Amino acid sequence: MPIYEYQCASCAKEFEILVRNSSTVPECPACHGTELRKKLSAFAAITGAASAQAELPASCQSCGSPGGPGACAFNP
């Protein structure tokens, strides 16, 4: 299940959403609009010997997400 990044055409809010089924139309969490622009997502991959020595970001300490501060969008 891929995660897509969108920007709402109505309110300009940017958000990510996990797409479970291609037949459902995602909507903006802020204004519930469905006119969305899919953004180009960047990703990083570490392979080979470098992956064993790579420094990963610390967890955000709120939910334990390994993506680091703000990765889970949890706001205490």
For residue 75, is pLDDT > 50? no
Instruction: Report d(CA 27, CA 43) in Å as an integer.
Output: 23
Going from N- to C-terminal start, the domains of the chain cover 3-41
Section 46-71 average pLDDT: 59
Radius of gyration for the chain, computed over Cα atoms and rounded to the nearest angstrom: 16
Confidence of residue 11 (pLDDT cuts 50, 70, 90): very high
Give percent above pLDDT 90 in the chain.
Answer: 25
Q: Which of 47, 50, 36, 33 is nearest to 5 (CA)?
A: 36
What is the pTM assigned to this prediction?
0.50
User: Comparing 69 with 41, which gets the higher pLDDT?
Assistant: 41
Instruction: Report d(CA 71, CA 65) in Å as an integer.
Output: 7
